[in-house]
Structure 1
Amino acid sequence: MISVDHLTKRYGGFTALDDVSFQARPGRVAGFLGPNGAGKTTAMRVVAGLTPASGGTATVLGRPYAALPTPGRHVGLLLDASAQHAGRTGREVLTLGAILNGVDRRRVDEMVELVGLTSKEANRRVRNYSLGMRQRLGIAHALLADPEVLILDEPANGLDPAGIRWMRDLLRGFAARGGTVLLSSHLLNEIERVADDIVVIGNGRVVAQGTTEELLAGSGTVVRSTDDAALARALESRDVAVSPVATGGMLAETDPDTVGRVALEVGVALRELRGGDERGLEEMFFDLTATSAREEVAA
C-alpha cells in the first residue's frame, strides 16, 4: 500500500506539489499520469524518500520509506534507468544490490533470465547498454529482493513493442500475486491496458482519480461537425450543456440521437458522433490537462 496525504513540495516560491492525495493499493496497478512538469516525478521521489516534503505525508506499507527496515527488501524502485554505474557490468550491478539487501546471490541469475538479458549482455558494461537494456536491468534490480511494492517512473522508455508487452504481463502478474504497483508512463494506451486505477495530475494538483473504468466511462456525446459553433448554440438553446474537447469537437451532455436531430434541424453536417463512454484514455487525459501542460518545467 502507498498512501499520499495532502502532500506539498515547494522550491522557493514555486509549488511543485499542491495538496496531493492518492493511494496505490495491494493487488492493483495504479497509473500515475500528467504532462511534463505536472509533478509526477517529484511525487514519486517524495514517496521513495529521495526528496523531502514541504507538507503532508507519504507512506509505503504504513511507514515513511526511510523508516522501513531495509527498504530495498520491501520496495522496488526504478526512477531513472540511466542512473546506473556505467563502468560495472549488469551482473555486477545486480550482485551489489543483492549484497546490500541481504538477498541470495542466486536471485541475480533468476532476474537476468526474467527480464530477458542474455548471459553475454549481463556481462557487458552498462555504458554499452541501449536504453531498453538499461530499463530491463533497472526492472531486474527493482524485483531483486522480491518486494511487496514497485514504484516505476517511465519503465517502458526504450522498450520495443515486444518488451512493452512483456513488461505489461510482468506488472499484471506482480499485482495478481498481491503486490502494489505505482507506475508513471507517457504511453497512455499501455496505461489503459495495464492500470486498475488512475491518478491524473496537472500543475502539481490531482485533477482526476478513480478506477480506470470509472474515469473512462464518460457521459454525454462527443460530436464534431462542419460548424461546431452553430451546433453548440443550437444545443444550448435547447438547454443542452456543451464543452470543448481538447482533441477537437465538443462534448454534449445528452444522447447521440438528440444531437443528431438538432444538427439536422439547423442544417449542420456531422463528421463524428459517438457516446462519451467510447472516449479513450488519451482523450480524457488531454481534456483534463489541456490547460495545465508545462513543457518548460521539470517533472
Structure 2
Amino acid sequence: MISVNSLTKRYGAVTAVDDVSFEVKPGQVTGFLGPNGAGKSTTMRILCGLTPATSGTATVLGRPYAALPNPGRHVGVLLDASAQHAGRTGREVLNLGATLMGIDRSRVDEMLSVVGLTDKESNRRIRNYSLGMRQRLGIAHALLGDPQVLVLDEPANGLDPAGIRWMRSLLRGFADEGGTVLLSSHLLNEIERVADDIIVIGRGRIVAQGTKDELLRGAGTTVRATDERALWAALEAEGIVAQAGGSGALLAEAEPAQVGAAAAKHGVALVELRGADGRGLEDMFLELTAADAREEVAA
C-alpha cells in the first residue's frame, strides 16, 4: 500500500507538487500520468525518501520510506536507469545490492534470468549497455529484495516492442500475486493495457483519478437512427449534448440508457446504440491536462 496525503513541494516561489493525495492498492497496477513538469517525478522522489516534502506525508506499507527497515526488501525502486555506475558490470551492481540487503547471491542469477540479461551481458561494463539493457538491469535491482511494492518511473524507456510486452507481463504478474505497483510512463497505450487505476497530474495537482473504466466511461454514447434529424431534435429536447460522429451517427454526452430513453420518448427508431469506446487514454489524458501542462519546471 502506498498512501500520499496533502503532499506539497515548493522550490522558492514555484510549487512543483500542490496538495496531492492518492492511494495505490495491493494487487493493482496504478498508472501515474502527466505532462512534462507536472510533478510526477518529484512526487515519486518524495515517496522514495530522496526529496523532502514541504508539507504532507507519503508512506509505503504504513511508514515513510526512510523508516522502513532494510527498505530494499520491501520496496523496489527504479527512478533513473541511467543513474548507475558506468564502470561496474551489471553483475557487480546486483551483487553489491544483494550484499547491502543481506540477500544470498543466488538471487542475482535468478533476477538476471527474469529480466533476460545473459551471463555475457551481465559481465559487461554498464557504460557499454544500451538504454534498454540499463532498464532491464534497473528492474532486476528493483526486484532483487523480493519487495511487496514497486515504484517505477518510465521503466519502458529504451525497450523494443518485445521488451515492452515483457514489461507489461512482468508487472501484471507482480500485481496478480498481491504486489503494489506505481508506474509512471509517457507510453499511454501501455498504461491503458496494464493499469487497473489511473492517476492524472497536471501543474502539480491531481486532475483525475479512479479506475481505468471510470475515467474512460465519460466517452459517451454512439447512436444512430433511421431519421437523423428527429434524433437530433429528441436529444436536444432532453438536454443531451451531441455532435456528429460520422456515417450518420451521433456522439452523445450521456449514458446509453439515457440516450435510448430520450429516443423512445420522442418515438425515434434507433438502429445503433452503444457506449462510445473509441476515445481511449490518449484523448482523455490530453483533455484533462491541456490547460495544466507546464514545461518550465522539472517533473
TM-score bracket, shorter-length normalisation: 0.7 to 0.9
Q: Matched residue of 2:152: which SS?
A: strand
- Give the AA of the match of 2:93: V
Partner of 2:163: 163
Asked if the contact 2:219/2:279 (under 8 Å) is kept, the reply is no
> 1:55, CA displacement in angstroms?
0.8
- Give the AA of the match of 2:291: T
**Structure 2 Cα separation of the partners of residues 139 and 197 of structure 1:** 21
Partner of 1:71: 71
Partner of 1:17: 17
Partner of 1:280: 280
Partner of 2:292: 292
Give the CA RMSD over aligned residues: 2.6
Q: Matched residue of 1:117: which SS?
A: coil
**Structure 2 Cα separation of the partners of residues 242 and 68 of structure 1:** 53
Q: Matched residue of 1:52: which SS?
A: coil
Partner of 2:265: none
Q: Matched residue of 1:174: which SS?
A: helix
**Structure 2 Cα separation of the partners of residues 90 and 56 of structure 1:** 37
Asked if the contact 1:46/1:52 (under 8 Å) is kept, the reply is yes
**Structure 2 Cα separation of the partners of residues 251 and 200 of structure 1:** 25
> 1:217, CA displacement in angstroms?
1.3
Moved over 2 A (4+): 219-223, 235-243, 250-258, 273-278
Deviations 1:32-68 (A, max 9, x none): 0000000000000000010001111100000000000
Q: Matched residue of 2:186: which SS?
A: coil
Change (3 A) 1:242 1:56: farther
**Structure 1 Cα separation of the partners of residues 33 and 277 of structure 2:** 20
Partner of 1:43: 43
Asked if the contact 1:201/1:207 (under 8 Å) is kept, the reply is yes
Matched-pair identity in %: 76
Which runs of no fewer than 5 residues in structure 2 stay unpaired? 224-231, 244-249, 260-272
Partner of 1:185: 185
**Structure 2 Cα separation of the partners of residues 293 and 251 of structure 1:** 28
Partner of 1:140: 140
Instruction: Report 1:1-299 matches (<5 A).
Output: 1-221=1-221, 239-241=239-241, 252-254=252-254, 275-299=275-299
How many pairs were matched up? 274
State the TM-score, normalizing by the size of structure 1.
0.85
> 1:278, CA displacement in angstroms?
3.1
Asked if the contact 2:221/2:252 (under 8 Å) is kept, the reply is yes
Change (3 A) 1:41 1:236: farther
Asked if the contact 1:38/1:293 (under 8 Å) is kept, the reply is yes
Change (3 A) 1:275 1:77: same
**Structure 1 Cα separation of the partners of residues 96 and 254 of structure 2:** 60
Q: Matched residue of 2:59: which SS?
A: strand
Partner of 2:267: none
> 1:7, CA displacement in angstroms?
0.5
**Structure 2 Cα separation of the partners of residues 13 and 276 of structure 1:** 43
**Structure 2 Cα separation of the partners of residues 278 and 16 of structure 1:** 33
**Structure 2 Cα separation of the partners of residues 168 and 183 of structure 1:** 11
**Structure 1 Cα separation of the partners of residues 20 and 93 of structure 2:** 34
Deviates most, 198-207 or 273-282: 273-282
> 1:252, CA displacement in angstroms?
4.6
**Structure 2 Cα separation of the partners of residues 39 and 144 of structure 1:** 28
**Structure 2 Cα separation of the partners of residues 252 and 204 of structure 1:** 32
**Structure 2 Cα separation of the partners of residues 187 and 2 of structure 1:** 23
